[in-house]
């Protein structure tokens, strides 16, 4: 591994002694039962994250920092807490996860120190190739980092949506990328190229709900997961090449994900791309296998099959808590009404802007995440990605984020049940 990536992957930082800086709460005790897992191939060369390096005493701390695990009560042992002024997360083994921490501010001057900073560092450490699939792009910190990468000889390639990317004439960085000689390919269709991922030096892949925009970094609730796994990289590289090189989007994309099911460092992963991989099937299967609990944080949840899977498990006695982005949640297509009127604990979010997560946490052990909204468009038309990761430690961090969002959520008051 390149030394520069050793630094960037953990976002070289200082140990904080203040618990309040971490802005995390103890996760609930993991349930005794876990989802059954099938036999999956192991990655041929197990990888692990590098050791955290911290500045010497007296050094100025960076904007993203690591905190001693022992200083955060309830944080999963073996997971290094990460903090930023407007973000938090954790790192273990082959993964690093970040969550945005919006304050509700409308003042752009306050939009400093978010999760864009550690990924600026990641881009600045990239040496050979940077492939980007971006639904939209206007974050200036990331824009400048990408332009610097291009200037120092990194091969940068971009795939985007046409309507929200190349045809956006007011609020996008893509024209500047083109001016700098960076090739940009759009999907040229009415459905969405809705992916949000980056591949760094063919070694790391970043994915999640986080669009590379000011709003998604500083106003909206989002998650971003960085993986150091060659099989994960191969999966995303195959998808990127389909779009960038072959110009195949949506239903024209071939079902050729190299490693849809595998294990990295003993952790089972599933990675699927929509629409070609029939993403809804493994999602519903995972929800249907819940033994104790399902937590949900979703921007858009309009698919009845997923809602029915939750209803079935709730009737069997599992607990359910769900948060919907308020905008759109009261429409006839939203499944908030279905679950709320069935007596389940379903709420609307409390962010004055947008809850943008696409997340389920099953049994406190399994995380479902990615760009995939739970909708027919995401299933049948859009270019999307979905990950299912069976790791109690990662699930604990997503549960912490859920607890934060639950604390500010609201019981629906304008829904009527027949």
Q: State the CATH number of the domain containing residue 193.
A: 3.30.870.10
Q: Do 62 and 200 fall within a single domain?
A: yes
Question: Can you give the residue range of the structural domain that contains 355?
Answer: 257-407
Q: Do 8 and 135 fall within a single domain?
A: yes
Catalytic residue among 5, 92, 194, 356: 194
Q: Do 261 and 219 fall within a single domain?
A: no
Residue 75's pLDDT band, with cuts at 50, 70 and 90, is confident
The string of DSSP letters for 295-342 reads EEEES-B--HHHHHHHHHHHHTT-EEEEEE-STTTTSTT-SHHHHHHT
Q: Is residue 242 part of a domain?
A: no
Angle between helices 116-125 and 140-151 (to 10 degrees): 0
Q: Do 224 and 261 fall within a single domain?
A: no
Q: Do 190 and 265 fall within a single domain?
A: no
Q: Is residue 331 part of a domain?
A: yes
Q: Is residue 249 part of a domain?
A: no
- C-alpha span between 31 and 131 (Å, rounded): 39
Q: Is residue 308 part of a domain?
A: yes
Given this model, what pLDDT does residue 329 score?
98
Q: Do 172 and 33 fall within a single domain?
A: yes
Q: Is residue 319 part of a domain?
A: yes
Given this model, what pLDDT does residue 169 score?
86
Please say if the pLDDT value at position 48 is more than 70.
no
Given this model, what pLDDT does residue 66 score?
72
Q: Do 193 and 315 fall within a single domain?
A: no
State pLDDT tens for residues 281-299: 999 999 999 999 999 999 9
Question: Buried (b) or exposed (e) across 296-312, using 16+ Cβ within 10 A?
Answer: bbbbbbbbebbbebbbe
The mean pLDDT value of the chain amounts to: 87
Residue 62's pLDDT band, with cuts at 50, 70 and 90, is very low
Please tell me the total count of domains within the chain: 2
Q: Do 137 and 7 fall within a single domain?
A: yes
Contact 49, 93 (CB under 8 A): yes
Q: Do 194 and 297 fall within a single domain?
A: no
Helix (H) or strand (E) holding 389: strand 384-390
State pLDDT tens for residues 127-136: 999 999 999 9
Q: Is residue 252 part of a domain?
A: no
Given this model, what pLDDT does residue 55 score?
26
Q: Do 155 and 301 fall within a single domain?
A: no
Question: Can 404 be counted among the known catalytic residues?
Answer: no
Question: Can 277 be counted among the known catalytic residues?
Answer: no
Q: Is residue 241 part of a domain?
A: no
The residue from 212, 230, 248 where one domain ends is: 230
Question: Can 196 be counted among the known catalytic residues?
Answer: yes
Q: Is residue 248 part of a domain?
A: no
Contact 350, 365 (CB under 8 A): no
Q: Do 121 and 183 fall within a single domain?
A: yes
Catalytic residue among 196, 356, 357, 358: 196
Q: Do 213 and 78 fall within a single domain?
A: yes
Mean pLDDT of 217-232: 98
**What is the CA 101 to chain-centroid distance, rounded?**
14
Instruction: Tell me which residue has tokens 């090449």.
Output: 241
Catalytic residue among 168, 186, 201, 391: 201
């Amino acid at each position: 591994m390149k030394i520069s990536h050793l630094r960037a992957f953990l976002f070289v930082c200082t140990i904080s002694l203040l618990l309040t800086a971490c802005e995390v709460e103890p996760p609930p005790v993991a349930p005794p039962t876990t989802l059954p897992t099938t036999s999956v191939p192991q990655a041929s060369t197990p990888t692990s994250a590098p050791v955290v390096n911290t500045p010497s005493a007296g050094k100025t701390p960076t904007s993203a920092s690591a905190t001693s695990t022992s200083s955060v009560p309830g944080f999963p042992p073996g997971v290094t807490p990460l903090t930023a002024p407007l973000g938090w997360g954790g790192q273990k083994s082959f993964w690093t996860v970040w969550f945005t921490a919006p304050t509700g501010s409308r003042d752009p001057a306050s939009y400093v120190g978010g999760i864009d900073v550690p990924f600026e560092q990641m881009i600045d450490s990239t040496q050979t190739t940077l492939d980007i699939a971006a639904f939209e792009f206007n974050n200036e910190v990331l824009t400048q980092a990408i332009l610097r990468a291009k200037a120092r000889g990194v091969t940068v390639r971009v795939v985007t949506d046409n309507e929200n990317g190349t045809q956006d004439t007011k609020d996008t960085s893509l024209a500047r990328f083109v001016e700098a000689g960076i090739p940009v390919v759009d999907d040229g269709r009415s459905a969405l190229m809705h992916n949000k991922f980056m591949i760094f030096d063919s070694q790391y892949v970043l994915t999640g709900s986080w669009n590379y925009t000011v709003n998604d970094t500083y106003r909206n609730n989002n998650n971003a997961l960085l993986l150091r796994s060659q099989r994960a990289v191969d999966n995303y590289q195959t998808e990127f090449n389909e779009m960038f090189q072959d110009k195949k989007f949506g239903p024209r994309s071939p079902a050729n994900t190299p490693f849809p099911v595998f294990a990295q460092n003993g952790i089972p992963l599933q990675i699927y791309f929509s629409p070609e991989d029939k993403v809804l099937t493994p999602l519903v299967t995972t929800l249907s296998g819940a033994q104790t609990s399902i937590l949900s944080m979703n921007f858009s949840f309009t698919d009845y099959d997923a809602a029915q899977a939750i209803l079935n498990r709730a009737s069997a006695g599992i607990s359910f808590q769900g948060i919907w982005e308020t905008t759109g949640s009261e429409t006839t297509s939203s499944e908030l009404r279905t679950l709320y009127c069935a007596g389940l604990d379903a709420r609307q979010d409390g962010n004055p802007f947008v809850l943008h997560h696409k997340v389920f946490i099953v049994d406190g052990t399994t995380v479902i995440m990615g760009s995939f909204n739970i909708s027919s468009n995401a299933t049948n038309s859009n270019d999307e990605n979905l990950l299912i990761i069976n790791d109690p430690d990662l699930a604990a961090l997503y549960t912490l984020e859920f607890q934060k969002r639950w604390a500010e959520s609201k019981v629906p008051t304008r829904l009527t049940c027949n």
